[in-house]
Amino acid sequence: MDRKSVKIVVAGGFGTGKTTLVGSVSEISPLTTEEVLTEASVGVDDVAGVEAKTTTTVALDFGRITISPDVVLYLFGTPGQDRFWFMWDELAQGAIGAIVLVDTRRLDTSFPAIDYFERRKIPFVAAVNRFHGECLYTEAEVRSALELQSNVPLLWCDARDRTSSKDTLIQLVQHAMSRLRATAASSGLQR
């Protein structure tokens, strides 16, 4: 049997819940490259809004989900700090799409990830991670603040919850597949 692999990137700013999301849905113990935040990061990492954060991803997070006997989904979580963004090109290569996790307490940390996937034309969904229950903003307010294009799904999730994270992954795959079908259809019309 020839197994097919599908790659998805989980991205976002520092402290948005990427490691947590990968860990909540992975069928294996996720590989993480978490390191303790030290005094050296003072003045470098902006911990405003995430003051209780004690560790950070310095390379990647990795998880796996077997969809069927012949399809395996691989999850790659990106580091959030800008000094590690050089890793993103490698992590995103070959991905069918990305989840951009959003923390509404720190919306500005989402802009670089959104810009990254828009520039590379990689399908993505923006997922508001509800850390402490409900989001204080409406979908329209968040969409406007993030300047999301109308064709980019905006979702609500809790990265700690397996079902919520799984639903976010499903919506990303559906979005990526619809974009692929639309691209194929327009290519067929142009021939």
Mean pLDDT, the chain, whole residue set: 84
Among the listed residues 35, 73, 25, 72, the one whose alpha carbon sits nearest the alpha carbon of residue 57: 35
pTM of the model: 0.83
CATH numbers and ranges of domains, the chain: 4-190 (3.40.50.300)
Amino acid at 5: S
Model pLDDT for residues 12-34, shown as the tens digit of each residue: 988 889 999 999 999 998 777 66
- What pLDDT score does 167 carry? 96
Q: What is the pLDDT of residue 181?
A: 84
Residue carrying structure tokens 């619809």: 178
- Res. 191: pLDDT tops 50: no
List, for residues 83-142, the tens digit of each pLDDT value: 667 778 888 999 999 999 999 888 888 999 999 999 999 999 999 999 767 678 899 999
Strands (E), 24-123: 31-36, 55-68, 71-77, 97-102
